[in-house]
Structure 1
Amino acid sequence: MNRLTLSLRFWEIVYHLVVKEKMRVIHISEHSNEVWIEDDRKEPYQIIRLAQKDLDWSNQLKADVKKTHERARQVRKQLGLRQANVVNVIISPYPPVDDYSQTVDQPLPFSAGGKQQQRTILVTLDALTNTFFPLATEWKLHAMPTFIEPESVEEEESMLRSLRYAVQQSSEKRHEDERKLFFYGKPVFTYIMISCILVMYAVVEHFGSSTNPQSLITFGAKFNPLILEGEWWRFFSAMFLHIGILHLFMNSLALFYLGGAVERIFGTTRFILIYFLAGLSGSVASFAFNENVSAGASGAIFGCFGALLYFGFRYRRLFFRTMGMNVIVILVINLAFGFMVPMVDNGAHIGGLVGGFVASAIVGLPKHKNQLKQLLAFFGGIAALTALLYYAYDQEETGDSYAVYYQIGIEHMRSDQFEEARPYFERVVHSESVRDEELLAQSYFQLGSIEITVENYGEAESYLENTVELSPEFFEGQYNLAVVYYYQGKYERAYEQLQVAKELNPDHEQAIELEEELSRHIEAS
């Protein structure tokens, strides 16, 4: 058997593994005498190195094994297959003339004590027949490689060229098919959404401020009390608003990269459904677990993470060979950041993440329809979202969200817009869910202050009495109540009340002046 026959057998094996068994070509050497293949048909994955060699002595085999071991480290790292075993198969016309058994019998580990190893197997031409291939059972091949005996050198050369061409074409087709998975669509909707977000930010800034709770609520931010009153549309409108320029920049950047990647993979129509279903899931989760005012496309953006994870679930090897680890690391960092920073709405993030994954399972990947699984995902997603909505609407409010009403009222007070401030404080004091006595006391105090400005001292008295009852140590409340008694001509009562206030702040100049004024009125009467 000559070198040409060796090459033919070598490429018949490569052809069978790549074309017939659908293994993936990693690398073909320049001289076509070495091929690296990834057996990714099912776990556990392994890397196969096939080489044709003329081995006269065992030291040649040892040198090849050592060189392959170093190269295998790089290949495993490049493919993200650090847990994969490597099988080094050498096709040789004859075995070395001296003893080589120790070289092929002892696996080489990739780390001290590691389970992952490199095995070297020497296969001679005599061991290859149409009914027997030494590794067929171990590799779980569907059939034996076919070895043809050509009738002439010309036929042998022609067969060799055909086999190489077929392997190359199969490899290129697989790479092209994999590439097409990432470029099914164009990011049209992504750019539209970024434009809408930027326009809404400009509108909010023009008419108010994106960091002002009142402006955010006016333009549709998620705000639990109003959703409970029937404004369900806030689940969607909140997705178009952002709180401050940094929030806008970070989400726009994330949407540009993540949204663009998801829209290319799933196509525009599927991406629209994924985006809004994930955004809805994030908003509902925020409604269920966070009473603060919230806004932003974060839920939908985390839905893009969910969509990419679904792609990884369907194409695990391709996912980890390309973007996989980067996606997971960024996702973990963002979730960890959300748990560490109290102001971050991690409920919306996790809700969007899960929603994006489920939505992707519902719409499916292009050209990969499975109606049963899609229906199961649809009904499962509907059931989960319904349960979350039921929990959100059924749970008892803590009243934390009403602090926002108080803050809006304070903003109006600072601008001397007293009548505009009144309804916000009234919402706090009339709510049965507010349990924060300090918040109630401050709201009653502000209502009392408003009534003083319009000289409605009777109402002011009632509000301030509630204030000092809830917060006896609140000096301004005690003092203003004394002032109200004074304006009503209740001098003795005002004097008694003032003494309570002075115990809290005996050096207050206005309190001292009021005490002198009250003393004169009492003496005169």
Structure 2
Amino acid sequence: MFITEKYKFYKLTNYLIEQAGFEIRYITKSGEGIVLEKYEKRRNKVIFIQHQSFDWSNHLEKHMNRQIKFLMEQVRQFRGRKTDYHLVFVSDFAPVDNWQRLQETRNINESGTKTSSLYYVTSENIDEELQRLSQSVDDTIDIRFTQVPSIPEQEQQSMYLHQKIESEYRRKDQQFKEVFQYGKVKWTYTLILVNLLVFFLLESEGSSTDSMHLIEWGAKFNPAIASGEWWRIGSSMFLHIGVFHLFMNMLALFFLGEVNERIYGSKRFLGIYFTAGIFGGVASFATNNAVAAGASGAIFGLFGALLFFGLHYKELFFKTMGSSLLIIVAINIAFGFTIPQIDNGAHLGGLLGGFLAAQVLHLPKKQEKLKQFTASILVVGLIIGMGSYGLMNVKSTENPEELAMIVQYYIDQEQYTQAIDVTDRFIENNTDHHYTYFYRAIAYMQKGSTERAETDFQRAIELHYDFPEAHYNLAVLYDRNNHSDARKHAEIAHEQRPQNEQFKSLYEELSQ
């Protein structure tokens, strides 16, 4: 009888939800088809249960194939690569021909990670088919219909269970919409435009790949930060080194920013973005001596905020982005440890900073005051700790290019003592290098310590004779009281680099 089969359909669906732990994923427009899902032991179990009858097995098979195709198209709805599709039809009667041939579990892809199984439940085989279903989806449950109530009770219970299932489905759907449509996207696009504008201005006055030009514009430069220019931690977030760097970061910001701003709302989004950016910048200051720029720390913070979201909305997280997001984060971290140019301090610091900032601000309509307060203290404490560690190590470097920029910066700032201190430390910690003595000699010259400058230029030439810049500067020093030696070194500088007009001019002047 139709009423009895309808009752069994809703009763079975409700049992799978309440007793077997399945979640409602979809209800057909007619309401007579329901998709349930449960993920456990790294395998997805999807049940499509429908109240429908078929006269012939070929009709049943065609309908089966259509439903499997439909379910496979809903891959975003389901977690994991391995999925078992269980198609359950509750019917008044079975097909007149041999439908049992369709019962066998089949692989529906070449790799064997997806399978399909059929269960056709009628009054004649209900115990047998429900037993098969129990064993397939969860061997700890035992689905049975030991007693079927009267027809009026069946109608009442069917109506109640129908409303209950529909209500739960609508609640889940509403929760999804509320979570992912809380905020409107506006600051994401604003930040992208600001970054593009800054890059255009940066390129219009020089090259974005020129370290000194980046420093002038506010890139992260440890000696300048140690001298009190902490604002560079923030300004460096809007500078990028080359078009490719800009493109990759803005592409990531477009996708991650949009979803974060929808989840957290605009104010929380900005708080997370800038906290993560600052946290990543300070982490870079503490762990990386190189000149650095870019929004990577803030962008990794958006990854961290989504991971925090996943802790509180596990089902929605894995249903929408979970596995893919975790893979992307893992790949980016792995790349960071294999490619030397990547600033791991900024990336990992930004990731942690974004996670902690999300804990401080929390998700809309959620509060954990103790955890929020603790996270606030942790953020401040870590920033102070990393900043202090960076200050202690800011003057140590093993990279001659970095050393040149540091000394040049201090000389431009007329901080000659600091420039000499940096080169002293470099000489103490390394074997003799000609460029180290050269840089220190330049600082001594600017400071007026000509004898020390002369000594260092001579040492640089001893270590590396083909050093025209050292010969030229030594000639400048000698010109004051030792004309013959000045002419000698001016001649060497000109011979080593004849195309340099400055070297040529000095040589011709001393030759007259």
TM-score bracket for this pair, using the shorter chain length? 0.7 to 0.9
Which of 454, 468, 473 is matched with 2:461 structurally?
A: 468
Give the Cα separation in 2 of the matches to 1:507 and 1:198.
39
Distance apart, 1:224 and its partner CA: 1.1
Q: Single out whichever of 63-72 and 46-55 deviates more from structure 2.
A: 63-72
Decide whether the 8 Å contact of 1:278 with 1:354 is kept in 2. Answer: yes
Deviation at residue 230 of structure 1 after TM alignment: 4.5
Question: Secondary structure of 1:50's match?
Answer: strand
Q: Give the letter for the 1:289 counterpart.
A: T
How far off its partner does 1:274 sit?
2.0
- Could you say which residue in structure 1 is the equivalent of 2:439? 443
What residue in structure 2 maps to residue 404 of structure 1?
405
Q: Could you tell me which residue of structure 2 aligns to residue 423 of structure 1?
A: 414
In 2, the alpha carbon distance for the partners of 1:142 and 1:391 equals 61
Displacement of 1:300 after TM fit? 1.0
Q: 1:462 to 1:3 in 2, by over 3 A?
A: same
- 1:256-275 residue CA offsets vs partner (Å, 9 max, x unmatched): 44223212212344334322
C-alpha displacement at 1:167, in angstroms?
3.4
**Contact 1:422/1:447 (<8 A) preserved:** no
Structure 1 residue identity aligned to 2:287: F
Q: Report the 3-state secondary structure (helix = DSSP H, G, I; strand = E; otherwise coil) of the residue aligned with 1:151.
A: helix
Q: CA deviation at 1:213?
A: 4.8
Measured on the aligned residues, the alpha-carbon RMSD in Å equals 5.1
Q: Deviations over 1:462-512 (max 9, x none)?
A: 553344245333144235535654552453x5687689879978999989x
Aligned-residue sequence identity (percent) comes to: 33
**TM-score normalised per structure 2:** 0.74
- Structure 2 residue runs of 5 or longer lacking an equivalent are none
Q: Is the 8 A contact 2:434 2:459 kept in 1?
A: no
Letter in 2 for 1:464: F
1:308 Cα deviation from its structure 2 partner: 1.7
Deviations along 1:108-161, one digit per CA (max 9) or x if unpaired, are 2344573653333343336769xx988568546799889653339xx84x7656
Q: 1:359 and 1:501, CA in 2 relative to 1: closer, same or farther beyond 3 A?
A: closer
Distance 1:147-1:389 versus aligned 2 partners, 3 A rule:
farther
Question: Who is 2:177 aligned against?
Answer: 179
Q: Which residue of 1 aligns with 2:5?
A: 6
Write out per-residue CA displacement over residues 158-210 of structure 1, whole angstroms, 9 at most, x where no aligned residue: 76566545534432331121111112223455466557657766887899886
Structure-2 separation of matches of 1:253 and 1:207:
25
Contact 1:406-1:424 at 8 Å conserved across structures: no
* Offset of residue 352 of structure 1: 0.8
Where do 1:263-274 residues align within 5 Å? Answer: 263-274=261-272
Gaps of 5+ in 1: 410-419, 521-525
TM-score (norm: length of structure 1): 0.72
Distance 1:163 1:361 in 2: 39
Q: More displaced, 317-326 or 276-285?
A: 317-326
Tell me if 1:433 matches 2:425.
yes
Indicate the SS of the match to 1:472.
Answer: coil
Displacement of 1:32 in angstroms is: 4.7
Equivalences for 1:311-330 in 2 at 5 Å? 311-324=309-322, 327=325
- Residue 258 of structure 1 corresponds to which residue in structure 2? 256
> Which residue of 2 is the match for residue 303 of structure 1?
301
Deviation at residue 425 of structure 1 after TM alignment: 7.2
- CA contact 1:425–1:447 (8 Å) conserved in 2: yes
| Aligned 1:108-187 pairs, distance under 5 A | 108-111=106-109, 114=112, 116-125=114-123, 139=138, 148-151=149-152, 156=155, 163-164=161-162, 166-187=164-185
Question: Is the contact between residue 131 and residue 142 of structure 2 (CA under 8 Å) also seen in structure 1?
Answer: no
Q: Secondary structure at the match of 1:38?
A: strand
Q: State how far apart, in whole Å, the 2-side matches of 1:507 and 1:74 are.
A: 68
Name the stretch that deviates more: 330-339 or 43-52: 330-339
Larger Rg: 1
Deviations 1:436-469 (A, max 9, x none): 8344244356569879xx9x97676455334424
For residue 186 of structure 1, what is the amino acid of its counterpart? K
In structure 1, what residue type is equivalent to 2:471?
Answer: Q
Asked whether the 8 Å contact 1:127–1:133 carries over to 2, the reply is no
**Over residues 245-294 of structure 1, what are the superposed CA-to-partner deviations in whole Å (9 max), with x where a residue is unaligned?**
76556545543442232122123443343223311221122112321222
1:487, 1:306 → 2: CA distance?
62
Output the amino acid matched with 1:84.
Answer: T
| Partner Cα distance (1:201, 1:255) in 2 | 15
Q: Match of 1:434, as an amino acid? A: F
User: What is the Cα deviation at residue 301 of structure 1?
Assistant: 1.6
Q: How does 1:2-41 map to 2 (within 5 A)?
A: 2-17=1-16, 23-29=22-28, 32-39=31-38
Contact 2:53 2:91 survives alignment (8 Å):
yes
Tell me by how many angstroms 1:227 deviates.
Answer: 2.9
Structure 2 letter corresponding to 1:185: G
